[in-house]
Structure 1
Amino acid sequence: MKQSGQRPAWSPPGSAFAGFRFPAEVIVVAVRWYLRFNLSYRDVEELLVERSVAVDHVTVYRWVQRFMPLLADAARFARHSPGDRWFVDETYVQVNGVWRYVYRAVDQHGQVIDVLVSTRRDAAAARRFFQRALRILKVTPAEVVTDAAPVYPAVLDDLVPSAWHHVERYANNPIEADHSQLKHRLRPMRGLRTDRTAQVIIAGHAFMQNLRRGHYELGHYELGHEAPPALRVAAAFTELARAI
């Protein structure tokens, strides 16, 4: 990768990268590294400097916040339809020193259904989570597995009355185990500063998980040839960069 000159790099008309100093190639690599590996923004800054690209870590942060949602949205057309068995649970993270709840769900195939950062753990938050997931995915589960939190029965009876609501000890192990993947990724960070930042980063982690687990028809081919599994995430990001 080469550092751009003082003038903004050229981007196709309508490109999300238009007007940025650095080319799309550099921006997308920085965003991908941050989401894929256990790196801080300063780590990404250092890796880019080693490649003669002088970018401040604050700029990397801004790139992630701006482009991660765009890349994930562009990938929606290629996303596999989720399974009909959803495992739902809440975990928690610190945002600017305050605890926040994170609603997450996975299906029986390990696909992350959706995530939602909430200031509260109540019926209103559970309702927002399910409404968002149902609206975006346009799929109704046949079974929903939760813990014994009392808010779920009424919410599910209202939003997905046809689904079997399953509450049983150990039945929700898949999502509880999956929380550890998120916690492992958040550990190297220097803290989440705002709820919006937390939502973008946690959603980006889910997006990367789904890409790596093969839940998107992306990255299978590169320059007309089948891409090796180790390069499929990189190929997927390159493909998505062209779409935005």
Structure 2
Amino acid sequence: MQRGVIVSYETVRRWCAKCGQTYANGLRCRRPRPGDKWHLDEVFIKVSGESKYLWRAVDQDGNVLDILVQSRRDKTAARRFFRRLMKKTRSVPRVIVTDKLRSYGAAHREVMPSVEHRSHKGLNNRAENSHQPTR
């Protein structure tokens, strides 16, 4: 009971079923468009004592585009991350910036060969900095 109005769980469930998707679509439309330069990076994390990899994509403005936790760090994992990222943002970048992990290059040639790929040790510091709150 809030402000004299009694609402049951069933009423909330019906409202979500009726209006939830429309509300979510409106929020999605107002989300800022991602930039055309994406910085990608992965970091080791421990989940229940097991080592996992936290993959993160950030645009040139520092907005986090997507985060994915996977158990592998190979070409298949990178390909899955690229596809998920393009599907979620509904766009293709002009440039992707990564570290020197070879999986990025192999997946890049397969998934988005027309996109410029820059891999250098210090170029993806923007993605490295976004990992700091997680660490």
TM-score, with normalisation over the residues of structure 2?
A: 0.82
State the partner residue of 1:95: 47
The CA deviation string for residues 153-182 of structure 1, in whole angstroms up to 9 with x for no partner, is 121112111111101231111000110022
The CA deviation string for residues 131-158 of structure 1, in whole angstroms up to 9 with x for no partner, is 0011121110010000101111121112
Q: What SS is found at the alignment partner of 1:134?
A: helix
Deviation of 1:15 (Å): 2.7
Residues 39 and 126, structure 2, Cα contact 8 Å, conserved in 1: yes
State the partner residue of 1:182: 134
Structure 1 residues 95, 15: CA separation in 2 closer, same or farther (over 3 Å shift)?
farther
Specify every segment of 5 or more residues in structure 1 that has no aligned partner in the other structure, as ranges. Answer: 18-70, 184-244
Instruction: Report the structure, 1 or 2, having the larger helix content.
Output: 1
Alpha-carbon distance in structure 1 between the residues aligned to 2:41 and 2:127: 7
Alpha-carbon distance in structure 1 between the residues aligned to 2:13 and 2:119: 52
State the partner residue of 1:15: 15
Structure 1 residues 100, 83: CA separation in 2 closer, same or farther (over 3 Å shift)?
same
Specify every segment of 5 or more residues in structure 2 that has no aligned partner in the other structure, as ranges. Answer: 18-22
Alpha-carbon distance in structure 2 between the residues aligned to 1:167 and 1:124: 19
State the partner residue of 2:72: 120
Corresponding residue pairs, total: 131
Q: Which runs of 4+ in 1 moved over 6 A?
A: 71-74
Q: CA RMSD in A?
A: 3.0
TM-score, with normalisation over the residues of structure 1?
A: 0.47
